[in-house]
A = this chain, B = another copy of it.
Amino acid sequence: MAAKRVLILGGGFAGVYAAQRLEKVLRPDEAKIQLVNQENYLVYQPMLPEVISGSIGITDIVSPIRHLCPRTQLIMREVEAIDLARKVVTVSPGFRPRQLELPYDYLVIALGGVTNFYGMPGMIEHGKPFRTLADALALRNHLIQVLEEADVETDPVEQQKLLTFVVAGGGFSGVELIAELNDFVTSVKSSYGNLRNAKPRCVLVHPKDHILPEMDQQLALFAEKILGERGVEILANDRVTAATSEKAVLKSGKEIPCKTMASTVPAAVPAVLQKLECQKDKGRLLANTRMELAGFEGQVWTVGDCAAATTVAGNPVPPTAQHATRAAELVADNIVAAIRGGQAREFAFEGLGKLASLGHYSAIAEIMGVRVSGFLAWVLWRGIYLMKMPGLNRKVRIGLDWLVALLFPPDLVQIKAASEAGIVRQHFDAGETVFHQGDLGDNVYIIEKGQCAVLRGDDHLADLGAGDYFGEMAVLGNVSRNATVRAVTATDVLLIPRGDFHKLKTSVPAFGAVFEDLAKARQSSNEQRD
């Protein structure tokens, strides 16, 4: 009998635990196991906020999948299409621009979730998601950047804006993030000569009455008290609806001037699953209590954040690591049963407890009915999560990291690995300034939606609408902006950086001509005016 092909999509807790269990139970001649993941590592989500303060080394928070499941073939590509009828998965091209097709006998879909800013203007450009290691690194670098800028900034209003940090969503990750962020900013500001007396503002925006709705209310109130004492503002019954480069806009109409707006909500399933034709529940793939995908029983299983399943007792399975790992092992056992013949198991796990770190030697915990808060809960949090971290290697490294973090102040190193983003979209709210007269001309703008006014001193020079270009004069002439442009209505613009603009202008003459004609026309109308 030929070895069966088991294909696992996703390398989070669910995917990796399923692969590990399959490796343990199945002989190599029984099955060939493949796992597709965009990264070659598993992210240990519970400790992700600690990347912010650098108390855990950047690479210690993740664990190489090749070490965790050595017998599984890891394919470090993106899943582009799933064909349930043909039993084939297509993954993205690598160095050579050819897609790869992976046929399977048994499929596990464990692709997790993605951050979804749909319908929230400006969030794609200015909201910082917090889900992957790259997100956490980008947020850390941004924090250090605003601190460095705040130290140089002489305008107190601008400085306060740089020192205001907003986190949307008061669930586990939102609470842990704002706690870590507040600790970090408070403790490192003494390293900045001009910030020693500054008052950073950390704001947590939550749509319900109280944060941590999954926790016992007494513990949630304790968490609110602790965070409040450390200076975190909690805005209950409100939500972030839009963001610009200058502020966060809330549903209540409140506006918070800030340069940092992180979001831990809302999540959606990845695009490849959104277009998958199968039964769904609020967008997630519908699974039965054996974690089989409805309609594809015995062939396809789904597990983790992308799946909607209930336990035997009828309770929905929450998107936590403790559930994902156990459901993954059940899926592996059920695949073994399908290969060898045997009885499939049903999911009956109802959770062991809940933990949330509040940073600074404090946490809250609810374990098998017992509620703990404060230092003891913090020790529990660290102990349990260190124990659960896969691999001895990582356990040792994190233990040492924590030890070193107790001895030395947090780190200020900014890892600027990302280069500038090229052509991007940007959102401005009504009344916001796109650029000021006298600014440097770094970008050319094209209005996609909305209306802008061109102003010089008290003069209203022109109105611009969808399809209009502006900003080309400063970029073409390499001089500073000769006017201010302000959004009159909510406006979306396309922004072409100077370097890209010049490359295109040289190589596509028709492109350059559009802007040179425009610049000439504006120049002559300016001269007539003067």
Task: Give A residues with C-beta under 8 Å from B.
Answer: 39-41, 54, 57-60, 62-64, 66-67, 70-71, 73-77, 93-100, 133-134, 137-138, 144-146, 148-149, 151-153, 158, 162, 191-194, 259, 392-393, 396-397, 400, 404, 407-409, 411-423, 425, 435-436, 438-440, 442, 446, 448, 467, 469, 494, 496-497, 499-500, 503-504, 506-508, 510-511, 513-514
Instruction: Tell me the dominant secondary structure on chain A's binding face.
Output: mixed
By a CB distance below 8 angstroms, the chain B residues around A420 are: 422
Of B423, B507, B510, which contacts A513 at CB under 8 A?
A: B510
Considering the complex, give the chain B residue whose CB is closest to the CB of A70. Answer: B191
- C-alpha spacing A40/B415, complex, angstroms: 9
Of B70, B95, B415, B510, which contacts A59 at CB under 8 A?
A: B415
Considering the complex, give the chain B residue whose CB is closest to the CB of A397. Answer: B404
Known: A40-B148, A64-B411, A94-B149. 20 other contacts (CB 8 A): A39-B416, A40-B414, A58-B58, A67-B412, A74-B148, A93-B440, A95-B162, A96-B158, A97-B435, A99-B440, A134-B415, A393-B408, A393-B409, A396-B407, A419-B419, A420-B422, A423-B499, A469-B508, A510-B510, A510-B514
Known contacts A74-B148, A423-B504: A39-B158 contact under CB 8 Å: no
By a CB distance below 8 angstroms, the chain B residues around A100 are: 152
Please determine whether A412 and B66 come into contact, CB atoms closer than 8 angstroms: yes
Please determine whether B414 and A417 come into contact, CB atoms closer than 8 angstroms: no
Of B66, B149, B421, B497, which contacts A95 at CB under 8 A?
A: B149
By a CB distance below 8 angstroms, the chain B residues around A425 are: 503
Please determine whether B259 and A138 come into contact, CB atoms closer than 8 angstroms: no
- C-alpha spacing A385/B106, complex, angstroms: 53
